Structure 1
Amino acid sequence: MRLSDWQREVQAYLLNPEIQPNPALQASLLGSAALSAEQGLAIYHNAYRARLLEALRGDYPAVHGWLGDEEFDSLALAYLNAHPSQHYSLRWLGAQLADFIDGYLVPAQAAPLSELARLEWAFTLAFDAPEGQPLSLAQMAELPAEDWPTLQVRLLPSVQWQVCRHSSLAIWQACKAQDAFPGSQVLADSEVCLIWRQQLVTRYRSLAADEAAALQGMSQQGWSFAELCGELAYLGEQAPVQAVSWLRQWLSDGLLQRFYTT
C-alpha cells in the first residue's frame, strides 16, 4: 500500500463513526504484546472524536450547560456524523450546529436551543471578524455641517445582529457567570442583541425597539442622517436631538463605518 493510500485509509477510519477498521488498514499495522493494532487504532479513533467534542463544548458552553454532558455529546455526535470536519482548523467545526438543531429536534425543542446556539456562534464570529475602519466621534466632530444630512453608515464587519425571541441572553449570562441554569422563557417581545468586537474585547448589549429600528434603518436599509430624523418626526423638535444621541452612542460603542455612495 502506497503512503498516500495508507493516509487516506487512516483518514477514512477516523471520520467513520464505526470503530471497526478496514481489514487492509489493520493488516498494514503491527501491534505489540501490550497493545494490538486494533486497540491502537481504537485509541486514535476515540481520541479524535473526544477532541471534536471538546471543541464543540468550548464553542457552545451555554448549550452544553443547558443539556448536560450526556445529551450534549449525543447531539454533538449526531451533528459530527452529519457534518464531519471539513477544515484544517477546528474554528469552523460548529458553524452549522444551530441549523442542524432545527432539523434534528422537534420545533418546540429546537427553537430556543438553536437560538442560543446562534447567539453563542455570533460571539465567535464577532471575535474573528476583520477590523474594518470604525467611524470615530473625533471624525464626526470634523464633519462639515452641509455633509450631515447625507451622512450614511454601515455596521462594522464584527457586528452581529441577533434577534432573540427567548431568554437566550439571560441563559448565556448565567453560563458566563457560572450561575445556575435560569430556564428558557419565551419573551413577551423579541429583542435585538448586538455582539461586536472593540479592539480585542468582545462586547454586547440589547437594544430597545425604537433604537433597533433606527440602527437597522441607517445601517441596513440605507437611511441617511436626514432620513433618520424624518423617521423620528413624531418627536417634533426632539427628533434631531434623539438622532444625534443614538449616533453618538453607536460611535462610542464602535459599531459603525462611513458609507460613501458612488
Structure 2
Amino acid sequence: MLSPKRPGHLEVKDLGVGVGLRPRHYQEILSEGHPVGFFEAISENYMSGAAKPLYFLDQVRERYPVVLHGVSLSIGAAEEPDREYLTQLKKLVDRVDPPWVTDHFCFSSVGRTHLHDLLPLPYTEEMVRRVARRARFIQDYLGRPFGLENTSSYLAYTQSEMSEWEFIRAVLEEGDIGLLFDVNNVFVSSFNHDFSALEFIREVPHERILQIHMAGHTHHGTHIIDTHVGPCPDPVIRLYEETIRLAGPISTLVEWDDQIPPLAQVLDEALRLGKSRARALESADFAPLSRSSSPLSTRRTSSASISVRPLPEARVFPEPLSQLQAGLCASILRAEPLALDPEERSLAELRFTGNARLTPVEQIEIYRRQFVLRHVESLQEDYPGLLALYGEDPFEKLVLLYLASHPPSEYSLRSLGWELPRFLRDQFKKKAQDGDPPLPNMAGLDPLAPEEKAAFVLEMAELERAYLRAFDAPQTSYLEFSDLLSLSPEAWTSAKFTLAPSVSLLTFDYPVADVRRASRREKPWPPLSPAPRRLIIYRHRDLDLYDKELSKEAFELLLAFSAGQRFGEACEEVATGAEGAAERLESGLGPWFREWTELGLFSAF
C-alpha cells in the first residue's frame, strides 16, 4: 500500500530494520559485515568528546547509516533548552550527518538538576505551543528532519485537556516536525492509563512518522515498565503490523538495553521484525486488529485478581508549570518513600489522576525507584572497586546519601560520580568528629585497622575517578618516538613534554589497583599490607584504559613534566633527589621515552 503523503521536508529514506549502537557490541559490529539496515546512536553518549565512543561511532558511520536519538533535550521543561547542550548536539550532528535526529515528548531536568528520565508532560494547549515552538527552532537549527518520540508513562496530570495522541498531532502539525513512533510505549501506556492502543495507533499522523521503535517490557501486574529487555512480545508485534499497514514502510529499530545479549541475538530479533514488516506490507487483505484483540482487553482479563479503588472524579489543580515540575522532581529525589509523608500524598492527589490500580503516590514511587536504580547502576559501573569493598546494599545506601547532597547536574551520567571521592572524605571526617565508625562492616578489609580501612576506601575512590578522567578525556595527536630522534641536544634541554589529557599520576599506600583488578575478574584479593606505589593511569593508543606502576625516578620525571618543567630542569631536579637517582635516570631515559611514546602518554609538540 502507499503511505500517506509526507510534508516535503520530512521525506526520508526507508532504512529497513536497524538496531541500537551499544558499546558492548562495538568490536562485533566492526569485525564483519552484518545484515542490518542502520544503527541508532544515543546522542548524549557521544557529545562529551570522549575519544573511544567517538572513534567507534566514526567507524560504524563509515560502514552503515547512523541516526541520532537523544534522551536529555528536555523539550517540555519550564526552562528553555540548554544552549550548551544544543551547541554540542549540533557539533555531533555535523560530524555524523544523520538523515534525521530525534528526542522525546518529555521533560528530564528542572533547573540544574537532571533526572535522566523521560518524565511525562501535561497535555494542554499551552504545552502544545511550548513544545511546537521549540521543536521547530531545533529542526531549523540542526538543518535536517527532527522528530519527537511518544514516551511510556506511569502517571497522568489532572491538568491535561486532551488525549496523548491529540497532543502529539497538535505539536507535530504546529511545529511541522516528525514523529518517532514507539509502538511498545503505546502498549505500555495503554495498560498504565486504560486507553485503547489501537485508537492511539490509528489517530497519530502517519505521514509524519520518521522512524519506529520496538522493544520489550516488564509487567508488574499493576503497571508495565518500558525496560527494553528481551524480544518484542507478540501483542506489540501485532500492533507494529497494524502501524505498518497504516503508515507504509518505515525505518524500524530494535531497542534492547537491559540484559543485552550478543549482537547475533539482537540481529535475529531485527530479522524477526523484518518478516513482520514484510507480512504487513505484502498482505493486501491484511485485516486490522479488532478491539476485542487489543492489549487493553487482554489486560483486563489478566488483571482481574488485582484489587482496585474507585477512579477519582475529574479535577484540575491550577499550578504553574515550573512549580508542578519542581514538585515532581523533589518527590523523585526523596530518599524515603513518599507514602510516609501526608503532605506529599495530598499534593500528589491534586496533581495526578491515579488509576484503578495505583494511587498517584504509588505512581510517583515508580519514578522514584527507577531514579535510584538508574543512578546506582551507573555508579556501580564507574566505581566497581568501591562496590566490591562495600557490597551491594551498603553501596546503594552510600549512593543515596551522595545523591541527596549531589543531585545530578549534567545531561550525561558520565559526570555523576565525579565528586564521590570528595564526598567520602567529608563523610569520614564528619563521622570521626561525631565518634561514629566511618564504614559499614567490610569483611574483605578485616586485616586493616579502622583508620586504614577508611584510607583504603579513599584511595580506591581516587583511582577510579582517574579511570573516569582517562575515559572521558578528548582525543589528542600523539608524540612519536621518531619525533625525538631529530632533536638536537639544545632542543632536548628546552623541550616541553605535555602529558596526554587522559594521564593521571597518583601515589597510593595500598594495593587498590590490584584489588580492583581482582574484583573485576572475580579473583582472590592480593595481600592488603601497606606498601607505597606510584601509578600512572592512562588511555592507551588502542583506547583501552590501563594503570602502570612506575619507578621513583620515572614517576617524578613525569610529574615534573605535568608541572610544566622543561626536560633539562626536570632531569636536574630528579637526578638530585636521592642517592643513585642520577644513574637510574641516565640508564632509564631511553627505554622510558620509547615506552611512553608507544603507550601514547605525550601529546604532540
**What is the DSSP-based 3-state SS (H/G/I as helix, E as strand, rest coil) of the residue aligned with 1:186?**
coil
2:365 to 42, 50, 53: 42
Distance verdict in 2 for CA 1:122–1:237, change over 3 Å: closer
User: Equivalent residue for 2:556?
Assistant: 213
| 2:361 partner letter | E
Cα distance in 2, alignment partners of residues 212 and 38 from structure 1: 56
Segments of 4+ moved more than 4 angstroms: 233-241
Q: Tell me the CA shift for residue 140 of structure 1.
A: 1.3
**Does 250-259 or 87-96 show the bigger shift?**
250-259
| Residues 1:223 and 1:93: Cα distance change in structure 2 (over 3 Å) | same
Please tell me whether the aligned partners of residues 556 and 574 of structure 2 are also in contact (alpha carbons under 8 angstroms). Answer: no
Map residues 214-233 of structure 1 onto 2, 5 A cutoff.
Answer: 214-220=557-563, 222-225=565-568, 228=571, 231-232=574-575
Does structure 2 retain, via aligned residues, the 8 Å contact 1:9–1:25? Answer: no
Shift of 1:158: 0.7
Confirm whether residue 168 of structure 1 aligns to residue 512 of structure 2: yes
1:25 Cα offset (Å)? 3.5
* CA separation of 1:124 and 1:257: change in aligned 2, threshold 3 A: same
The alpha-carbon deviation at position 64 of structure 1 amounts to: 0.6
> d(CA) in 2 for partners of 1:153 and 1:164?
25
Cα-to-partner distance string for 1:92-126 (whole Å, 9 max, x where unaligned): 11111111112223444321101101111111110
Cα offset, 1:239, TM superposition: 5.6
Contact kept, 8 Å, 2:348 with 2:361, in 1: the verdict is no
CA, structure 1 residues 40+203, in 2 after alignment: closer, same or farther (shift >3 Å)? same
Shift, 1:258, TM fit: 5.4
Structure 1 residue 191: Cα displacement:
1.3
State the match for 1:197 in structure 2: 539
Which range moved further: 111-120 or 82-91?
82-91
Match of residue 246 from structure 1: 592
Structure 2 CA distance for aligned equivalents of residues 38 and 218 of structure 1? 57
**99-108 vs 234-243, which moves further:** 234-243
Q: Which has the higher contact order (CA 8 A, sep 6+)?
A: 1
Q: Please, which of 160, 173, 180 is the counterpart of residue 524 of structure 2?
A: 180
* AA partner of residue 533 (structure 2): E
TM-fit CA distance, 1:145 = 4.5
Q: 1:227 to 1:39 in 2, by over 3 A?
A: closer
**Number of matched residues?**
257
Percent same amino acid at aligned positions?
26
1:150 aligns with 2:494: yes
Report if aligned partners of 1:148, 1:226 keep a CA contact under 8 Å in 2: no
Higher helix share: 1
| Structure number, greater radius of gyration | 2
Equivalent residue letter for 2:350 = A
Offset of 1:193 from its aligned partner?
1.0
Deviation readout 1:126-175 (Å, 9 max, x if unpaired): 01102233211121123344422222212111101121111101111102
- SS at 1:148's partner residue? helix
Match of 1:139 among 483, 504, 517: 483
Q: List aligned pairs for 1:53-72, cutoff 5 A.
A: 53-72=376-395
Task: Name which of structure 1's ranges 247-256 and 62-71 shifts more when overlaid on structure 2.
Answer: 247-256
Alpha carbons of structure 1 residues 183 and 51: separation in structure 2 relative to 1, 3 Å: farther
Does structure 2 retain, via aligned residues, the 8 Å contact 1:102–1:111? Answer: no
When the two structures are superposed, what TM-score results if normalisation uses the length of structure 1? Answer: 0.87
How far did residue 221 of structure 1 move? 5.5
CA distance 1:31–1:56, shift in 2 (3 Å): same
1:2-29 deviation digits (Å, cap 9, x = unpaired)? 3332212111111222332363343111
Deviates more, 1:141-150 or 1:165-174: 141-150
Scaled by the length of structure 2, the TM-score of the pair is: 0.40
RMSD: 2.4
Counterparts of 1:108 and 1:15, CA distance in 2:
33
CA contact (8 A) 2:557 2:570 kept: no
Contact 1:98 1:114 in 2 (8 A): yes
Alpha-carbon contact 1:132-1:157 (below 8 Å) kept: yes
Q: Residue 135 of structure 1 contacts residue 251 of structure 1 at CA under 8 Å; is this kept in 2?
A: yes
More deviation in 219-228 or 70-79?
219-228
Shift of 1:207: 0.4
- Over 3 Å counting, the alpha-carbon distance change for 1:23 and 1:86 in structure 2 is farther
Specify whether residues 191 and 25 from structure 1 end up closer, same or farther in structure 2 by C-alpha distance, changes over 3 A only.
same
Contact 1:126 1:196 (8 Å CA) reproduced: yes
Measured at CA, do residues 39 and 231 of structure 1 come closer, stay the same or move farther in structure 2, by a change above 3 Å?
A: closer
The Cα shift of 1:182 comes to 4.0
5+ unaligned residues in a row in structure 1: which ranges? none
Output the CA distance in 1 between the equivalents of 2:405 and 2:379. Answer: 14
* Cα distance in 2, alignment partners of residues 185 and 91 from structure 1: 33
Match 2:353 to one of 30, 54, 57: 30
Change in CA separation of 1:238 and 1:2 when aligned onto 2, cut-off 3 Å: closer
In structure 2, distance between residues paired with 1:237 and 1:97: 41
Mapped to 2, the partners of 1:167 and 1:241 lie a distance apart of: 28
Structure-2 change in CA distance of 1:6 and 1:97 (3 Å): same
